[in-house]
Structure 1
Amino acid sequence: MLKVQEVRELIKLIDESSISDFTYETNGTKVTLKKEQGEVVTVSKSVQEQPVQQEAPQPSAKPKVEKEEPKEEPKEVPAEEPATTSTDFDHEIVSPMVGTFYASPSPDDDSYVKVGDTVDANSVVCIVEAMKLFNEIEAEVKGEIVEILVDDGELVEYGQPLFRVKNK
């Protein structure tokens, strides 16, 4: 199974390339990346009956996966665009998956970050729990947290803004 950071790297590579469709299948898990109007959309699906294959993506697999995913996801992908129109922040940290947002590593611990905290690109800002897996979310930018957009324990969607950061 791919780690969150590996999926992020794949998204960046596909976004910067001329590839429009990409499918990766391993250990019963299938990840499909598809560019739509210049944005990269990630679709992940668990595959039970198919063995691992190293082939080029097959067009017949795409419609099957797309029908099973909610239609709302592509609308939420351009989360970084509002950052260019507002002067209060420069970047939004968005959720890379659907899951439950946790501001701290455990209920007894302090939050990873608070409004006014300075973060580096590799600073952990929260956890998103999906299917009993706790995924640490990194800031990916250097700056100051100016707004926290979700509450602890709240369900978040793919591409949903979690934090607003002002570059320093």
Structure 2
Amino acid sequence: MTKNIETERLILRCFLPEDALQIHPLFCDDEAMRLVGMYPAFTKLKQTQERIGRWAGNPRRLAIVLKNSNKVIGYVAVDSREEKCEDTKELGFAINEKCRRKGYIREAVTAIQETLKMGGVKYLWACCFEENAASENFIRSMDFKFQKRGTYAAINDRTYVSLEFMKEL
């Protein structure tokens, strides 16, 4: 995924270094970062600038941008599920608290799925921590099927029970 993906309300594109200021509130959100395994949350803009500097230009880390304001409100991550397995990817996402429950993640994930399918991806995984009921409900609502429980050892935090879901595209 190297070109922008556009939906009715969103543009999904590679991060730019200047996006750090807009995405910083998400990376400072203790609860959101804990639930995506990036805890502890950042306390300084410099930390966000360093992360976005690493993500900038990476087609596996896409900024979710509102078309009407050009504001970065979250991200979608698309990674290889297993080495040398190009037909299987894993999805991750997070969005600013003020933008939740407005259908933005559903819109972004639907567009990502369509793009991946056109690119030959056959299987898409999505995982969430067992305690993250909102993400679990969302993943299930997108027709992902529960596969198994796993574990995820988060950096600087603890080991979480992970619920792993898969969808055939």
**TM class, shorter-length:** under 0.3
Task: Calculate the TM-score normalised by the size of structure 1.
Answer: 0.28
Which one has the largest radius of gyration? 1
